[in-house]
Chain A
Amino acid sequence: MPKIKMTSIKKKYDNKGEEVIHDFNLDIEENEFIVFVGPSGCGKSTTLRMIAGLESITSGELWMDGKLVNDVQAKDRDIAMVFQNYALFPHYNVYDNIAFGLKMKKYKRSFIKERVEQAAEILGLTKYLKRKPKDLSGGQRQRVALGRAIVRDAHIFLMDEPLSNLDAKLRIQMRKEIINLHRRLGTTTIYVTHDQTEAMTMASRIVVLNDGYIEQIGTPEQVYNNPQSKFVAEFMGSPPMNFLEGSVKGNQLMLDSGEVLGELSQSIGDVEKVDIGIRSENIDIAAHDTGINMTVNHVELMGADLHIHGNADGKEIVIRVVPSEKVAVNEQVSLRVNIDMVHLFDANTGKALFDREKVNA
């Protein structure tokens, strides 16, 4: 029995009448770390809030531990939630903020003290228990919000973009802390983010959402290596996947310009118009003329990698090479594509034309 089961869930806001979540189906197992990822307005926070009981469910069923909870109030779902803006009480100190839920439930003072001190110890907040939120840094505030969630011993954690207000360095550190916390407590967690890096690094499974629809559910490897739609391919990965337009004739993959990229190892039949997706690490600079030429626009040294941006076949392309590669702006280079790693998508529907996992298996 899954921990959380969502069946055909739909959401409509009364005032708009327009459906914002369409037919959402998902099973979440005990101890999983699920990440909802997608661009702004894709419905990820709305879905999370429906699970929390902060938004009503228009239709469909939400089950938790085998119990239908559509009409169960938020407080009775035994859920702890961490908000984007921390939602700390400005007039309470760290101790009282962490203890808030336990106080509302009127637990004994000694029990509250023990739990709060334990949570503060885990989160490195012991020194700050008497401070008010305004005297804490962003990272410390987020830890207090996490403390309030873990002290309750809730059986599900919901996190709504908890790191988006932090600077890049702190975000990486908190990411690590949340992963360690999950490993330590093992609580089923649903985490919402628009940052694909967070999704890739934290999730046991990722749910990619777009415009209220689930685009793909899978492990970070599945979502990255085997995107089932052009949207997922574009959204996941940094730099994003490159796209060229072409066609398939008798297993030969050709660009619209007529250049042959190579022969596909799997047969998908003739397709007149395909979008060819190639990750930046699957293209490199060829020593000889391959016929696929790129004019270099600019070069970014990322430290371990060199990103070369340019134009090829009328499209913008980014390739990732070793930093020792020497290229100059406005130089024309020939590109070599690893044909075994290309992804093909239907030019009309955006759906993947084959399953890369099965092909490479």
Chain B
Amino acid sequence: MIRLKKAGKLFIFLGIPMIPLIVFWFVPMIVSLWLSLTDWDYISPTFNYVGMDNYTYAFTSDDFYQALKNTVVFGVFTVVPTIIIGLLLAMLLREGLKGITFFRSLMFSPWITPMVAMSIVWAWIYEPDIGLLNQVLGWLHLPQPEWLHSSSSALWSIIIVTVWKNAGWAMLFYSDALQKIPRDLYEVSNLEGSSWWQKMRTVVIPLVSPTTLFLGIMLAIESIQAYDQIQVMTQGGPSGSTRTLLYMYYQMAFEQFNMGQATAISTIIVIITGILALTMFYASKRWVHY
């Protein structure tokens, strides 16, 4: 009887929440893993089993490596600056300053604005001939890049928008983490004559490290999943310069209807995400202090 009760409880508390997880996550994952071994074209009722062909094709194609490189560049240059800017903003906007809530809200507002709407506005700002940014650069007699229209600057333009959107979000987490640092530690540093950088190195950075780990993992995953801003601003162009792995997946699946190759790429994305999260988690044991 007790065993039956226990099984009932297990079903209610574990089984029921598992149902949507199984239906909407595990099953599609297994189906997509199966599809990656086929040549399904998204429309035909029939398809052939092609084994590892889709993976072989991906690993031998230049487009894949360019997309992988774009994903890595996009990931590194959105995550690192977002973390640094978020921390610096949080330090700048500490409690006790006048109008702090207003400035914090201002910094946080890009995060609550939908990426699609924001990307449309930024596409106008980046417009080389009539856009605001080049107007301002022109007044300052600075070079006026082609921004989204040039393959050398398009990815950086999207990186800037993504950092701008996420920095306020990172700031909020860092504000909270900074408040939890005991004041005594700053005072000890003052008494011992620590410089600004020494204080950062010995007090701030180690004591906000759990927040840095959390933000690092979240932002890295988000950077791999970036889609909206690329879709609105460049659609992966010019010449594939802003095509990330996820965008490549989208193009293969819904523009080229090559579901087999698309799901092979999506599987690679999942593996990369998993490896990245695990690496960060294990590496964190050395530098994260709880």
- Measured between alpha carbons, how far is A209 from B110 in the docked complex, in Å? 53
CB A50 to nearest CB in B, in angstroms, measures 13
Residues of chain A contacted by B190 (CB below 8 angstroms): 53-54, 73-75
- Measured between alpha carbons, how far is A112 from B184 in the docked complex, in Å? 23
CB B12 to nearest CB in A, in angstroms, measures 38
The answer to whether A85 touches B193 (Cβ under 8 A) is: no
Task: Give the segment of A97-105, A121-129, A198-206, A277-285 that binds chain B.
Answer: A97-105
The answer to whether A100 touches B188 (Cβ under 8 A) is: yes
The answer to whether A81 touches B289 (Cβ under 8 A) is: no
The answer to whether B192 touches A101 (Cβ under 8 A) is: yes
Partner among A83, A91, A104 whose Cβ is within 8 Å of the Cβ of B192:
A104
Give the number of residue pairs across the A-B interface with Cβ within 8 Å: 59
The answer to whether B207 touches A91 (Cβ under 8 A) is: yes
Q: Given A90-B289, A91-B207, are A104 and B187 neighbors across the interface (CB < 8 Å)?
A: no
- Measured between alpha carbons, how far is A75 from B193 in the docked complex, in Å? 5
Report the count of interface residues on B (CB-CB < 8 A): 18
Contact with A along B93-127 (1 / 0, CB 8 A): 00000000000000000000000000000000000
Residues of chain B contacted by A68 (CB below 8 angstroms): none
The answer to whether A87 touches B188 (Cβ under 8 A) is: yes
Q: Given A100-B202, A104-B198, are A89 and B191 neighbors across the interface (CB < 8 Å)?
A: no
B274 interfacial by beta-carbon distance below 8 Å:
no
Contact with B along A63-101 (1 / 0, CB 8 A): 000000000011110011101011101110000000011
Contact with A along B159-173 (1 / 0, CB 8 A): 000000000000000
The answer to whether B187 touches A83 (Cβ under 8 A) is: yes
- Measured between alpha carbons, how far is A101 from B192 in the docked complex, in Å? 5
The answer to whether A75 touches B188 (Cβ under 8 A) is: no
Partner among A52, A75, A87 whose Cβ is within 8 Å of the Cβ of B185:
A87
- Measured between alpha carbons, how far is A105 from B198 in the docked complex, in Å? 10
- Measured between alpha carbons, how far is A115 from B289 in the docked complex, in Å? 27
Closest to A97 in B: B188
CB B242 to nearest CB in A, in angstroms, measures 40
The answer to whether A105 touches B192 (Cβ under 8 A) is: yes
B203 interfacial by beta-carbon distance below 8 Å:
yes
- Measured between alpha carbons, how far is A76 from B190 in the docked complex, in Å? 10
Q: List 26 interface pairs A-B (beta carbons < 8 Å), by A numbering.
A: A52-B187, A52-B191, A53-B190, A54-B190, A54-B191, A73-B190, A75-B190, A75-B191, A75-B192, A75-B193, A76-B193, A85-B182, A86-B184, A87-B182, A87-B188, A89-B203, A90-B289, A91-B206, A91-B209, A100-B188, A100-B202, A101-B191, A101-B192, A101-B193, A104-B189, A104-B202
Interface residues of B (CB under 8 A from A): 182, 184-185, 187-194, 198, 202-203, 206-207, 209, 289
Extra 20 A-B pairs, beta carbons < 8 Å, given A52-B191, A87-B187:
A52-B187, A54-B187, A74-B191, A75-B190, A80-B191, A81-B187, A81-B191, A85-B182, A87-B184, A89-B202, A89-B206, A91-B207, A100-B188, A100-B192, A101-B192, A101-B193, A104-B192, A104-B193, A104-B198, A104-B202
The 7 closest A-B pairs by CB, nearest first: A75-B193, A87-B184, A91-B289, A101-B192, A91-B206, A104-B192, A83-B184
